[in-house]
Amino acid sequence: MGHGIKCIGMLTSGGDAPGMNAAIRSVTRAAIFNNIRVKAIYRGYKGLITGEIKEFQTQNVSNIIQQGGTILKSARCAEFRTPEGRQLAYENLVKEEIDALVVIGGDGTFTGARLFSQEYDVPIVGLPGTIDNDLFGTDSTIGYDTALNTIIDAVDKIRDTASSHERLFFIEVMGRDAGFLALNSALASGAEAAIIPERETKVDQLEELIKNGFRKSKNSSIVIVSESEVTGGANGLAERMRREHPEYDVRVSILGHIQRGGSPTAYDRIIASRMGVAAIDALMDGLRNIMIGIVNNEIVHVPLAKAIKDDKPVNEQLLGVVQILSI
Ligand code: ATP
């Protein structure tokens, strides 16, 4: 074997996302297909430090492609942020004869991976697993499409009650400091507006909406709000609205953790499956410290440093589309 990789370790870390199981399945089967052994590491970096590691066969990933969450569990691990923690992790890699790692997670996971590979010269490939879609170098992250669909399903239901009572609803969605979920769910659910952190740093979006008379011809309105501190969240905006415009009958709905759950969509299963195979291909080709992405339907390799540091801009022009369609 020219690439010298006989055994890989695989973990999921940070916030869980639907489609992680499809990625685990794909990584496992692609490795075994190429005669590479697979060791599953439980609870993210925590399991690497405590040695919670089990060898997987192809049957270990049977019947999981449709399941949300991650069968490997996920955890936040403060110890991995310390040199001592990472040394323990490395000792376990050596003990388990793991030559390379595939890590599935978000930018925190990749930051830890990058540091670890610099310190111990371990080849690492990352797969973007987060509902927030906030990683540079891939059109979509694993879990984003499912979360988007969960959100629009919920918004459709809220619309029924909003229009019966002629109310203004602020619906808060996840996304950390990125507006992808808010903006695209607003488009897909026919919401009257989206309030996203990227634009809020430039203008007062609520004031803008009121000035534009966003509720003129409607008997109900739905505004999707990113959870970020920059926007003030749905509660912050509702409070302001009640203070400044008491004529509106304002309600708040915070969608919360339902956005993380559920069976992954076809799209998330497909990208997770493609990315898992691409991760093993990349390791066999001698690539290291990269994230697998999909751009314009093609697999791409993005240096971890870029995936973490570079900004992935939302398409703010889509706010204009939402506005046009809300008249
Ligand atoms: P999501 O964005 O979906 O929540 P994430 O991967 O960004 O996912 P984090 O909790 O930020 O989630 O990071 C996951 C884990 O990665 C942390 O618990 C920690 O173990 C490790 N990690 C994060 N940042 C660092 C760092 N600077 N140094 C070492 N390890 C880190």
Residues of the chain with CATH 3.40.50.450: 2-143+264-309
CATH number corresponding to 2-143+264-309 = 3.40.50.450
Give per-residue burial for 51-81: e unless 16+ CB within 10 Å, then b. ebbeebeeeebeebbebbbbbbbbbebeebe
The whole-number pLDDT of residue 206 equals 86
Q: How does pLDDT run across 29-59, given as a tens digit for each residue?
A: 999 999 999 999 999 999 999 999 999 999 9
Hey, whose CA ends up nearest to atom 11 of ligand 1?
A: 108
Residues of the chain with CATH 3.40.50.460: 145-260
167 lines ligand 1 (CB under 6 A): no
Q: How does pLDDT run across 246-276, given as a tens digit for each residue?
A: 888 899 999 999 999 999 999 999 999 999 9
Mean pLDDT, residues 160-171 taken together: 83
Q: 189 pLDDT exceeds 90?
A: yes
The whole-number pLDDT of residue 187 equals 96
The whole-number pLDDT of residue 216 equals 56
Hey, whose CA ends up nearest to atom 26 of ligand 1?
A: 112
Catalytic residue among 132, 134, 145, 268: 132
The CA distance from 196 to 147, in Å, is 17
* Percent of the chain's residues with pLDDT above 70: 97
The whole-number pLDDT of residue 324 equals 86
Q: Report yes or no: 124 and 288 within 8 Å, Cβ to Cβ.
A: yes
Q: How does pLDDT run across 120-149, given as a tens digit for each residue?
A: 999 999 999 999 999 999 999 999 999 999
107 lines ligand 1 (CB under 6 A): yes
CA atoms within 13 A on the CB side of 18: 25
Tell me the three state secondary structure of residue 130.
Answer: coil
The CATH architecture of the domain made up of 145-260 is 3-Layer(aba) Sandwich (3.40)
Average pLDDT, rounded, for the chain? 94
Active site residue 156: no
The whole-number pLDDT of residue 108 equals 94
List strand residue ranges (DSSP E) for 132-220, in order. 168-173, 193-195
